[in-house]
A and B are shown apart, each in its own frame.
Chain A
């Protein structure tokens, strides 16, 4: 293993180089831009033979990705925030047409007010599209998640697109040591994509994405539901094989000192690294605090999360998103799907830095279990 110091955006680009897609349509947007730049350089330097399409918008990027995927080849694209929002129409079409596209989303707040900084509102707002979603904690996991995403998306029992979500700036622009796997190992894990379902080929004419009357639409959506739920087995198998080849273990959730914890924090993405430091501090003081990190958000790992948190007296769920008048999405899904009473905390919207003192405040407030939602880190003088 050779560690190199790089940003998560570079780590994603390195993963894409290893996955060797045939078509890369991308449109740059902060803080995703350097992914587009690294990939453009790889193509220009001949490091990968992909067709790099410089499209005129994100709507075109995902449309070109869907069209290319429809011809039965491997495709990659990346976006962020307003770009993902502009893709919205085709995001649903890509899942419905069962296109195994892999896309990186550099998580960034949505307008208005205009913000280039991190939260997870952009990808959370696409949660009902049928895409799989993984939230990476660091650059290494970002890289590895791209490779696993192709394996799972292209599995013939799944055929749904994947979104690998990385926190804007906090991961996209942070450099730290990352292991870039060897091409030989990646080829063992991720063979070339061979479609055997519906794909466009002049020698075998067919139509894809046709009008569907009420006799068939529900069946198509039902198939998507079965495929997404069934993807859990494929993800588990891919994770196990990944661990065998690369020595790094991933799961639907990560449990950090949570087994005997009476207070458990649940969160997604890069904030979990800071939470681990805070958990250690509280453990040093004899408090039984732990973290459950949700890594795979779609398909939603209801059973895994419930098993991990059901024994705790106090549960606090962090959301870098808000469904107005309802609260954080992860918080509400946990309370809706599980026999628990979790408190919700809205944190880090629009790049508001989440400090260890905020996490300790949440741990304290979680001790009063009310299922309510509280906003942490608001500037009191602005209220």
Chain B
């Protein structure tokens, strides 16, 4: 079973990202589960969301404490939340940042300037779909084709196309390393 934890702030789309990842994994023929954990219900408050992916139906319903992968939508959270908590040995962390990030925890960290890509392609700093593209490139836990299909199902029309393009760009960048 693959367990993923997303860290974001209310309104950034961490919950939607976890759901798109689950649906994409299902599209790839896997079983899936995704759910949020809200702190308080307001924009800007730290939120977590979780995705589980497995070859068998998934029963367990507690929060993810030992993730294989962590995705951080906002590097400002590193100061308030221990995003590395419980990360499995060999686990990977994908962080949206344009700055240097502390890597003292020994985790394999992949930095993505998702905000830069978002401003460039979407015109707004919404990074969830871009990080999913990077996630597919870094982890191979889900196909980029499935991610793009579900992005287009989730966001219709031009918004869907632009998000798909941005996700693809982040995927290709991650593949190049």
Identify the A interface with B (CB < 8 A): 3, 5, 30, 116, 169-170, 173-177, 270-271, 273-274, 276-277, 353-356
Contact B60 A277 (CB under 8 A): yes
10 contacts between A and B (CB under 8 A): A30-B41, A170-B35, A174-B34, A175-B23, A177-B31, A270-B61, A273-B60, A273-B61, A355-B62, A355-B65
B65 to chain A, nearest CB (A): 7
**A116 interface neighbour in B15, B35, B41, B57, Cβ under 8 Å:** B41
A176 to chain B: which residues have CB within 8 Å?
22, 31-34, 58
Bound form: Cα–Cα A184–B36 in Å = 35
Contact A353 B32 (CB under 8 A): no
Most buried by B among A174, A175, A354: A175
A3 to chain B: which residues have CB within 8 Å?
26
Given contacts A5-B19, A174-B61, A177-B26, 17 further A-B contacts (CB under 8 A): A169-B35, A169-B38, A173-B35, A174-B35, A176-B31, A176-B33, A176-B58, A177-B32, A177-B57, A270-B61, A271-B61, A273-B61, A274-B59, A274-B62, A277-B59, A353-B63, A355-B62
Identify the B interface with A (CB < 8 A): 15, 19, 22-23, 26, 31-38, 41, 57-63, 65
Bound form: Cα–Cα A245–B33 in Å = 27
Bound form: Cα–Cα A219–B110 in Å = 71
A270 to chain B: which residues have CB within 8 Å?
61
A274 to chain B: which residues have CB within 8 Å?
59-62
B156 to chain A, nearest CB (A): 14
Bound form: Cα–Cα A273–B38 in Å = 22
Bound form: Cα–Cα A309–B71 in Å = 44
Contact B41 A356 (CB under 8 A): no
**B22 interface neighbour in A175, A273, A356, Cβ under 8 Å:** A175
Contact A175 B59 (CB under 8 A): no
Main SS of the interface on chain B?
A: mixed
Bound form: Cα–Cα A365–B41 in Å = 37
A174 to chain B: which residues have CB within 8 Å?
33-35, 61
Contact B61 A356 (CB under 8 A): no
Bound form: Cα–Cα A273–B57 in Å = 11
- Known contacts A116-B41, A175-B34; A354 and B62 CB within 8 A of each other: yes
Most buried by B among A30, A270, A273: A273
Contact A175 B61 (CB under 8 A): no
B22 to chain A: which residues have CB within 8 Å?
5, 175-176
A170 to chain B: which residues have CB within 8 Å?
35, 61
Contact B36 A5 (CB under 8 A): no
Bound form: Cα–Cα A322–B113 in Å = 49
| Nearest neighbor of B63 in chain A, beta-carbon distance | A353
Contact B19 A276 (CB under 8 A): no
B14 to chain A, nearest CB (A): 13
The list of the 8 closest CB pairs from A to B, nearest first, reads A174-B35, A273-B59, A176-B33, A5-B23, A277-B60, A274-B60, A175-B34, A5-B26
A258 to chain B, nearest CB (A): 16
| Nearest neighbor of B40 in chain A, beta-carbon distance | A116
Contact B62 A175 (CB under 8 A): no
B41 to chain A, nearest CB (A): 7
A297 to chain B, nearest CB (A): 19
B15 to chain A: which residues have CB within 8 Å?
173
A5 to chain B: which residues have CB within 8 Å?
19, 22-23, 26, 32
| Nearest neighbor of A278 in chain B, beta-carbon distance | B60
